[in-house]
Structure 1
Amino acid sequence: MSINREELQNNPLHGLKLEDMVQELVDHYGWNILDTAMRFNCFHTNPSVASSVKYLRKSEWAREKLEAFYLSRFKRMPRPTEEEKEMPPRMRTFANGIEPKEPMELTVDSILASQAKAASAFKEKKAQERRNRSRR
């Protein structure tokens, strides 16, 4: 997939420092929401922006998970295509004219309900795959 520079610049992560992103998320959602959504110890035990940034710089998977959360929940950008899911959130492109929306309102309860729904759907998908394999 070729990356269009203009579309890449339309990504809300373009030029955003990790520290600034974490601060924006903390200011809007707070540590409790981030801890529940991300399940990172740096958001749970004595959280601070500095310690979180230090951890996120060392852990690419965690940084990408937080960046995806920032794009989907905080900026409410369109979902990535299957092809885009394979690339880091900072490399995803958005067509010109697609603007970030107001942040999604989240509560600990809404996050837990969403996680439970996702876990249930995952279990059902795996059970269906097992049933399909056993029929062969």
Structure 2
Amino acid sequence: MNTEQPNNPLHGITLAEVVEQLVAHYGWEALATRVNINCFKNDPSIKSSLKFLRRTPWARAEVEALFLRTFSN
């Protein structure tokens, strides 16, 4: 089976890497202003954020879109 995804800009990047890079770039407080979700506002952590984002498709889509806007060439 061919797992290549040439049209997917997030191919090969895990959700954990996305969140970690955004936190390193913006910090939790600024990230919470850009993506209005409680897991970034109240006692934020990578673990709690990943748990929420994996269960909440709309929030994950917003975080991935912010990642692409921030780090796309």
What is the TM-score when the length of structure 1 is the normalising length? 0.48
Which blocks of at least 5 consecutive residues in structure 2 are unaligned? none
One of 64, 67, 71 as aligned partner of 2:64:
67
One of 4, 11, 17 as aligned partner of 1:14:
11
* Percent of matched pairs sharing the same residue: 41
- Kindly provide the amino acid, as one letter, of the partner of residue 16 in structure 2: E
Provide Cα deviations, 1:72-115, integer angstroms capped at 9, x if missing partner: 1x114xxxxxxxxxxxxxxxxxxxxxxx2xxxxxxxxxxxxxxx
One of 51, 54, 77 as aligned partner of 2:51:
54
Please say which structure displays the higher CA radius of gyration. Answer: 1
Separation in structure 1 between the aligned mates of residue 39 and residue 5 of structure 2, nearest angstrom: 34
Superposition map of 1:84-103 within 5 A: 100=73
Which blocks of at least 5 consecutive residues in structure 1 are unaligned? 77-99, 101-136
Query: What value does the CA root-mean-square deviation take over the aligned residues?
Result: 1.4
Separation in structure 2 between the aligned mates of residue 6 and residue 14 of structure 1, nearest angstrom: 6
- Kindly provide the amino acid, as one letter, of the partner of residue 8 in structure 1: N
- Kindly provide the amino acid, as one letter, of the partner of residue 18 in structure 1: L
Separation in structure 2 between the aligned mates of residue 56 and residue 15 of structure 1, nearest angstrom: 18
- Kindly provide the amino acid, as one letter, of the partner of residue 7 in structure 2: L
User: After TM superposition, which residue ranges in structure 1, 4 or more long, deviate above 6 angstroms?
Assistant: none
Separation in structure 2 between the aligned mates of residue 14 and residue 30 of structure 1, nearest angstrom: 24
Separation in structure 1 between the aligned mates of residue 38 and residue 5 of structure 2, nearest angstrom: 36
Separation in structure 2 between the aligned mates of residue 31 and residue 55 of structure 1, nearest angstrom: 15
